[in-house]
Structure 1
Amino acid sequence: MNSAFDDLFAANAEYAADFRLGGLAPVAARGLAMLTCMDSRIEPLQALGLEPGDAKILRNAGARVTDDTLRTLVLAVYLLEVDRVLIMPHTRCKMASVSGDAEVHDLIEREHGVDTRSLEFRTDDDQVGALRHDLERIRHHPMLPQGLPVVGAVYDVDTGRVEPVDA
Structure 2
Amino acid sequence: MTDTTELIRRNASFAAGEFKAGLGINPSGNLMVIGCVDPRVDPAFVLGLEQGEAAVIRNVGGRITPATLSTLAMLRKVGQANQTGKPTGDWNLVILHHTDCGMTDLAAYPELLAAYFEITPDQLPGKAVSDPQGSVRVDAGIALREVSRDSFLVSGLVYDVDTGRIDTIVAPTRGHRTAP
TM-score of the superposed pair, with normalisation by structure 2: 0.69
Please give the residue correspondences for 1:78-117 in structure 2 after superposition, counting only pairs within 5 Å: 79-80=78-79, 83-102=91-110, 117=112
Aligned to 1:10: 9
Which residue number corresponds to residue 134 of structure 1?
139
Number of residue pairs the alignment of both structures matches: 151
Q: What CA distance in whole angstroms lies between the structure 1 residues aligned with 2:133 and 2:44?
A: 22
Report the CA distance shift for 1:11/1:147 in structure 2 as closer, same or farther (over 3 A): closer
Give the share of equivalent positions with the same residue, in percent: 31
In structure 1, how many angstroms separate the alpha carbons of the residues matched to 2:65 and 2:4?
Answer: 30
| Higher helix residue share | 2
Moved more, 78-87 or 31-40: 78-87
- Name the SS for the 2:71 alignment partner: helix
Name 1:70's counterpart in structure 2: 69
CA distance in 2, matches of 1:49, 1:15: 17
Q: Post-superposition shift, 1:127?
A: 2.8
Name 1:43's counterpart in structure 2: 42
Measured at CA, do residues 96 and 147 of structure 1 come closer, stay the same or move farther in structure 2, by a change above 3 Å?
farther
- Equivalent pair of 1:36/1:88 in contact (CA under 8 Å): yes
Cα distance change, pair 22–59 in 1 and its aligned pair in 2 (3 A): same
Q: Structure 1 stretches of 5 or more lacking a match?
A: 106-116
Give unpaired runs (5+ residues) of structure 2: 80-85, 118-126, 172-180
2:31/2:53 contact within 8 Å kept: yes
> In the alignment, residue 156 of structure 1 is paired with which amino acid?
D
- Where does residue 149 of structure 2 map in the other structure? 145
TM-score by length of 1: 0.74
Q: AA paired with 2:140?
A: L
AA at the equivalent of 2:109 = D
Distance 1:126 1:159, change over 3 A: closer
User: Which 4+ runs in 1 deviate beyond 4 A?
Assistant: none
Does 50-59 or 69-78 show the bigger shift?
69-78
Q: Deviations over 1:16-64 (max 9, x none)?
A: 3335312111111111100010111123223223211111101011001
**How many angstroms apart in 2 are the aligned matches of 1:32 and 1:95?**
25
Are residues 5 and 119 of structure 1, via their aligned partners in 2, closer, same or farther at CA, if it must alter by over 3 Å?
farther
Partners of 1:16 and 1:121 in 2: CA distance: 37
Say which structure is richer in strand.
Answer: 2
Q: Do the aligned residues in 1 keep the contact of 2:148 with 2:154 (CA within 8 Å)? A: no
What is the root-mean-square deviation of aligned Cα atoms in Å?
A: 2.9
